[in-house]
Structure formats: structure tokens, C-alpha cells
Amino acid sequence: MSDSENSQETPGSHDRQPILLLPGVVTALAAVIVAAHLVRVLLFNDSGLDPLVLWGGFLPLRLLLPEAIPGGWLPLLWTPFTHGFLHGGWEHLLFNVAWLAIFGTPVARRYGPGPTLAVFLVCTAAGAAAFAAVTIGDGAVLVGASGGIAGLTGAAMRFVFQPVITTRHPETGEVIVLGRRLASFSDLWRNTRSRYFILIWVVLNAAVPLFPLFTGGAGVQIAWQAHLGGFFVGLLLVPLFERREGAG
């Protein structure tokens, strides 16, 4: 007998599923974010954190006073992106990774790894730009992947709440799922779930500066500007990656 005739399949071998159901690009992006934080925690002590954040975080004040800050304006070439791989702590990191898994997954499954990574990076920079527009004179530093992940959230809003499009095979009559079509802005508003999600997202983030009025304490360390900037750019950007023949 040949080897193929001797081999035996274990019961259910065809039904095995991968341990991780996340798309590869989402898993890889989450792994890089976690690895960057591990490097920060394991290799940098408290005195080393300031230079790391200074050179890797996004500091809008460089635009106004480059001569007063080490490195001048040069770090502005990379920090609009690298700030997305630095986090203030494990809670910050884990929340962002969870949000990435939830909203990065449908974008990656629809568009693939290249467009998903492009949306993340462009919206990371867009979040930095929105942060700079509000805090440019404050000396505040932006760290965290929230802007890029908010962009993936905005991108997902364009299709995740839309009805599934189906057709029938011309010969067998079998129902074939084509996917979800890309929603226009009027579609987003007409759809109750997408409308309320977007409204709640915008209101909650825009209300962050008002939190001290209700809590009576210091402001909350949430980069709401980056959230809003990334979200709206993702909402606008995603049609560039839509296939001409229809939804995926």
C-alpha cells in the first residue's frame, strides 16, 4: 500500500478551526502593540521613559517651538505614527487591543491586510493632527493607538450595520451571500443602529472636556481629539478601498 492509503484521519479533523479567529493583520498589529509596550516596561526605567515618550510620542508643541525641544521638528516625521505604539499602562493597552479586535476584524475581512493597515496608519496621523489642533500650545504629549483604532471603527460603520446582500445561483438556486454594501452617509443616518452608534461616539468623546464639571476633579486623560479625528477620517477614507464590482 502507498503512504496515502495507510494514513488515517482522526474524527472531526476537517472541522478543526484555528485557535485565533482574528485576521492575520489584526493579530499582527495587536502583537506589535503589545510587544512595544513590553519593551517599554522591561527595558526602560522611570528615568528612561521621558526620552522614550519625547522621541516616540507626538508633541504638538514642536510645531510652535522646535528650537526649545530636543530634536526640534525632526521627530514630527515619525511621531504622528509611532505614538500609536506607545501606551500609558496595561489598562490603556488592553482596552485598545480589545477595541482593535472588535472593529479591525470586519475591516480586515472585507478589505484585506494592506487597506486595513493603511486605514490604521492614516487615521493614527489624523488623530495626531486633531490632537495638535486643540492642544498645540499646552505641551501635552499624545500616546496610544486610539486614533488609528477609531479610524477602523469609523470604517466599519460604513458597512457592519447594513443588510446582507444575497443572490441565488442561476443553476442550483442556492442562496449565495454577497456581503454588505457600503453605506452612503444618508444610509448611515437612516439606519437606526449606525445613527445611534455614531451619535453616541461623537457625544461621549466631545463631552470628555466637560467631565471635571460633573466630577469636581481633574480632567480625564483621554485623547478625545484623536478619537474624533481618526473616526471621521476612517469614515471618509474607506470607500477608496471598495471593490468596483460590489461589496466583499
Using pLDDT thresholds of 50, 70 and 90, give the confidence band for residue 214: low
For residues 178 and 165, is the Cβ–Cβ distance under 8 A?
A: yes
Using pLDDT thresholds of 50, 70 and 90, give the confidence band for residue 213: low
For residues 166 and 233, is the Cβ–Cβ distance under 8 A?
A: no
Q: Tell me what the mean pLDDT of segment 32-56 comes to.
A: 87
127-175 per-position pLDDT tens digit: 999 999 999 988 899 999 999 999 999 999 999 999 887 677 677 767 6
182-211 per-position pLDDT tens digit: 999 999 999 999 999 999 999 999 988 876
Residue 19 has pLDDT above 60, yes or no: no
Cα 90 to Cα 33, 40, 42: the distances in Å are: 11, 11, 13
What cell numbers appear for 80 in the block?
504622528
118-128 per-position pLDDT tens digit: 999 999 999 99
Residue 28 has pLDDT above 90, yes or no: yes
φ/ψ of residue 168, rounded to 5: -115, 140
Q: For residue 115, how many C-alpha atoms fall within 13 Å in the half-sphere facing its CB?
A: 18
Residue partners of 123: CB distance under 8 A and separation at least 6: 147, 148, 150, 151, 152, 154, 229, 230, 231, 233, 234, 237
How many other C-beta atoms lie within 10 A of the C-beta of residue 72? 12
How many other C-beta atoms lie within 10 A of the C-beta of residue 140? 18
In angstroms, the CA 231 to CA 237 distance is 10
The predicted pLDDT at position 194 comes to 96
Q: Strand pairing partners for 58?
A: 142
For residues 80 and 58, is the Cβ–Cβ distance under 8 A?
A: yes
pTM of the model as a whole? 0.84
Q: Strand pairing partners for 166?
A: 177
The predicted pLDDT at position 31 comes to 97
Residue partners of 13: CB distance under 8 A and separation at least 6: none
Arithmetic mean of pLDDT over the chain: 85
